[in-house]
Amino acid sequence: MKIIRSPQTISAISKKLKLKKKTIGLVPTMGALHKGHLSLISEAVRENDFVVVSIFVNPAQFGPREDFKRYPRMVNKDIMLCRSRGVDFIFMPKPDHMYPKMFTTYVTVEGLSNVLCAKSRPGHFRGVTTVVTKLFNCIPADIAYFGQKDIQQAIIIKRMAKDLNMPVAIKIMPTIRESDGLALSSRNIYLNVKERKDALVLFKSLKLAKGLIKSGVSETGKIIHAMRRIIRGKNVRIDYVAIVDSDNLIPIQKITKGCIIALAVWIGKTRLIDNVIVR
């Protein structure tokens, strides 16, 4: 396994591999790897000749009052985990490699980047799509892997790749959870013991929604009301609870196959998200 810091170097290596007809899988991350990331890496290793994991805490997707400086950074552990999973290259650029002086070009997916999480995090998805575009330009991957836990991000990137004719397949992998249902997230490390217990309300509310749908409830307003009621009973602050179409992320009135039930809540000072797809 090699650790590459220069965009020019990883680009040159990738081009040589493509000339040899080798397939490349890319797993973009911000580090602090957990079992969710490892599931993406394992799938990439299984499906490709070579795998690149990018580790880059992207400053462009953090707002001025967000947790960029304290975002968990566990580089040595991340390297060890990548090596143990058969990763071929780690791309670990510095911020000035990705955003040199006089950088002024950004990529925005209209519509999808203005709803749900975007309302609380203005500019966040512009930062995401810009850095992912740069990664795709540096690394001509055949498949890029993203987790369902960040479903809005994954849908936006999938749309971006389609709209801009990017020759990369976007694969969205299932959310990985703890045994009690909490979705794995690098930000879970911020939670104290009580907050960790309170955070279970996200999964409980999603289970409630699935149960209501299974029992025949199809009006999304009723489901959202029930979810908000169970969340309000805990020491949490609701950002949003929504049921949306999976193509355009627009709220829907009746449950349809493939729609997304998504929510974001604040547990103390930590914002957590989760979702399920209605199958």
* pLDDT of 4: 98
30 alpha carbon, distance to own chain's centre: 10
40 alpha carbon, distance to own chain's centre: 11
Q: Closest by alpha carbon to 24, among 111, 97, 91?
A: 91
Question: What single-letter DSSP state applies at residue 184?
Answer: P
For residue 42, pLDDT over 80 is answered with: yes
Residue 244 — very low, low, confident or very high, per pLDDT cuts 50/70/90?
Answer: very high
pLDDT digits (tens, 9 = 90+) for 79-93: 999 999 999 999 999
CA angle 51, 54, 58 (to 5 degrees): 160
- Give Cα separations from 185 to 105, 117, 127, 255, 274 (angstroms): 29, 16, 19, 28, 10
Domains in the chain and their CATH numbers? Answer: 2-173 (3.40.50.620), 186-273 (3.30.1300.10)
Q: Which letter, b or e, does each residue of 46-63 get, where b requires 16 or more Cβ atoms within 10 Å of its Cβ?
A: eebebbbbbbbbbebbbe
Active site residues per annotation: 37
Q: What is the residue whose two structure tokens read 């220069």?
A: 6
* pLDDT of 233: 74
DSSP-based three-state secondary structure for 12 = helix
Q: What is the residue whose two structure tokens read 């009580």?
A: 194
Measured CA to CA, the distance from residue 61 to residue 126 in angstroms comes to 7
For the chain, give me the number of helices (H) and strands (E)?
10, 9
pLDDT digits (tens, 9 = 90+) for 187-208: 999 999 999 999 999 999 999 9
pLDDT digits (tens, 9 = 90+) for 130-162: 999 999 999 999 999 999 999 999 999 999 999
Residue 124 main-chain phi, psi, to 5 deg:
-60, -50
Strand order in the sheet with 143-147: 2-4, 89-91, 50-55, 24-29, 143-147, 169-173
Measured CA to CA, the distance from residue 7 to residue 239 in angstroms comes to 37
| Tokens coding 60 | 């462009």
- Give Cα separations from 140 to 49, 51, 106, 206 (angstroms): 13, 11, 19, 37
Mean pLDDT of the chain: 97
- Give Cα separations from 257 to 4, 14, 147, 207, 254 (angstroms): 43, 39, 20, 17, 10
